[in-house]
Structure 1
Amino acid sequence: MIYIIYDLEFTVVRKQQHLAEIIEIGAVKVAEVNGSLQIADKFQTFVRPSGNPVLTRHTTEFTGIRQEDMAGAPDFREAVELWTQWIGNEDYYLCAWGSDDKYQLIRHCREVKLDPDWIKNHNNLQRQYSKKAGGEVYQQIGLKRALEMEGIAFEGSHHRALDDAYNTALVFVKRFEDFELQTNAPEDDYTYSSEVVYSSGEEEASSPFQALAKLLRPDAS
């Protein structure tokens, strides 16, 4: 069994009628090497947005991703094919810091009529870590805070998919025994058969989707 720790970056939208699009996928593969868990490989690809192909100034300022990075980038379907080829045929858990990335993956798969069966054994590391490390009263812990609590220095740039995935993996490896990973399928999640809402965690409080997410999902705060 291997562990795929991933992160997505999105376009920044300011109008409620628009939905964010995935513009970068970053992932690391955690595997047992010589008796211990280690980061064994890395994956990164930009993703060409189809709805709004020209990146806004807000998107570039927030993520550091530039319009020239989109030149030659695969579309979402092609990016998923590259990603799943990199994952390989071994059984895996798919893990992210938070719930938003899974919702967006399912939504994008629907839009391009791509079977989401590969979004399996998905685990929200943020929720599990927050329950274990957050004390008696549950409070959602952001990745930046989790790294500080673990004494791990952030490596790379914030809001870049591979860097965020890599740093999430550092927390995952250090606190591996505290995570209780679940096996599941996309259809096991309510978002599979309902509207997908992009909600943000504590580090994304300015997201235009946050207020809507709190209305529809009380646990999103």
Structure 2
Amino acid sequence: MQYIIYDLEFTVQRKQHQIAEIIEIGAVRVKETDGTAAIVDTFQTFVKPTKQPTLTPSTVSFTGIKQEDVVGAPQFREAVKAFTEWIGEEDYYLCSWGPDDKMQLLRQTRELQMELDWIRNHNNLQSQYSRMINPEVYKQVGLKRALEIEEIVLQGQQHRALDDAYNTAQVFVKRYSAFTLEKNLASEELLYSTELVYSEGEASHNPFGALAKLLDTGTSS
């Protein structure tokens, strides 16, 4: 069994009717040997957005991803193909920090009528870790704070897919024996939002609502 710990970067959307698009996929492969987990490989690709091909200044500022990074990148379907080929044939757990990445994957995959079978054994590491740290009263722990708690040095920069995936993997490796991962199939799960965007009015777990509100300095028409 392998552990695929991944992260996505999306376009930042300021308006509620706009839909975010994935513009970067980053992932880390973790394998276990004799009860010890270790990072053994990495994957990264930019993804060319199609609904709004030109990145907004807000997206560039927040992620550091530039127009030239995505203009020649594969579109979502081809990027997922490369990602799943990298994952390979060995069974795996698919893990992210928080729920948003899975929801975005499902939204775009369903929109393009792509197969969902590869989105399986998905686990939210943030939820489990937060309960480890605060077993009596649940309090969501951010990735940066988790690194501080574990005394792990932040690698790279925040809001870049491979760097965030790598830092998430560091926390997972450090606490490997404490995580209990479950098996599941996304294709069998019914209750997922298909309107995940970085905008005001989003669900409380979305960390970018405040950012969108801050950026939206115009007045309503």
When the two structures are superposed, what TM-score results if normalisation uses the length of structure 1? 0.88
Aligned residue for 2:77? 77
SS at match of 2:191: helix
1:96-175 equivalent positions in 2, closer than 5 A? 96-175=96-175
SS of equivalent to 1:50: coil
Q: Post-superposition shift, 1:53?
A: 0.4
Q: Distance in 2 between matches of 1:139 and 1:160?
A: 24
Other-structure match for 1:19: 19
In structure 2, the partner of 1:206 is 210
Give the match's secondary structure for 1:85: helix
The answer to whether the aligner puts 1:6 opposite 2:6 as a matched pair is yes
| RMSD (Å) for aligned C-alpha atoms | 1.8
Contact kept? 1:103, 1:191, Cα under 8 Å: no
The one of the two structures with greater contact order (alpha-carbon pairs below 8 A, sep at least 6) is: 2
1:205, 1:176 → 2: CA distance?
32
- The structure whose residues are more often helix, as a share, is 1
Which amino acid is 1:124 matched to? N
In the alignment of these two chains, the number of paired residues is 208
Q: Which moved more, 1:83-92 or 1:110-119?
A: 110-119
Runs ≥4 residues deviating over 2 A: 32-36, 187-192, 194-205
Unaligned runs of 5+ in 2: 198-202, 214-221
Question: How far is 1:32 from its partner?
Answer: 2.2
Tell me the CA shift for residue 111 of structure 1: 1.2
Distance 1:66 1:168 in 2: 24
Structure 1's unaligned 5+ residue stretches are 210-221
Matches of 1:134 and 1:44, distance apart in 2:
33
Q: Which residue of 2 aligns with 1:36?
A: 36
- Is the 8 Å Cα contact of residues 30 and 39 (structure 1) preserved in structure 2? yes
Indicate if the aligned counterparts of 1:5 and 1:96 stay in contact, CA closer than 8 A.
yes
Distance 2:184 2:34 in 1: 28
> Identity over aligned residues, as a percent?
58
Q: Displacement, 1:166?
A: 0.1
